[in-house]
Amino acid sequence: MKKLTKKERHQLLLKYIEETPFVTDRELTKLMKVSIQTIRLDRLELGIPELRERLKIMAERSYEDKVKSLHIDEVIGEIIDLQLDKSGISIFELREEHVFSRTSIARGHHLFAQANSLAVALIDCPIALTAHADIKFIRPVKLGEKCICKAYVKTNEDKSKKSKVEVNTYVGDELVFHGHFLIYRSDEA
């Protein structure tokens, strides 16, 4: 790729973010072959917020009124798709506070919390609580990796009492976490 002018770089940056709004600055540096500082300065100049802020804005606009079982701020990760009692997707990028300092490997409770909070958020009731969880960590997740969590409501037992939710978390295309959650549900607030 030839060295781009600032105007060309800005156009390309806008195009990448429009096509893939969840692209990280680090991924943009690889795509555009410039430093991370250049990406950050370009975003700042164009008024494009950082990834976490973009995700938060999108989640608040799209899903705040839909989630009934907990407040949107209580979801670990950012919800990017949600169909109550059907399916949902959230993204969670591991930062320094989520990993062990010696190994830069994620503390397991963060991956569990992302999966569990998405499973609960899927439930179309004011009260949804985890009754049981059967989970498996497939491989360690490291600092800076982006966890994409996908959850599906498999069954609604007795429609008003419990739902089975299957959750898979990926880094790229690689499965890193798998779980089955039994969620108690109630319409009584």
pTM of the predicted model, to two decimals? 0.68
Helices (H) and strands (E) in the chain, counts: 5, 6
Share of the chain above pLDDT 70, in %: 89
What pLDDT, on the 0 to 100 scale, is given for residue 81?
Answer: 84
Q: For the range 53-58, what are the long-range contacts, defined as Cβ-Cβ under 8 Å and sequence gap of 24 or more?
A: 54/17, 54/21, 54/22, 55/22, 55/80, 55/91, 58/21
Domains and CATH numbers, the chain: 6-48 (1.10.10.10), 53-186 (3.10.129.10)
Q: Give the mean pLDDT of 182-189.
A: 84
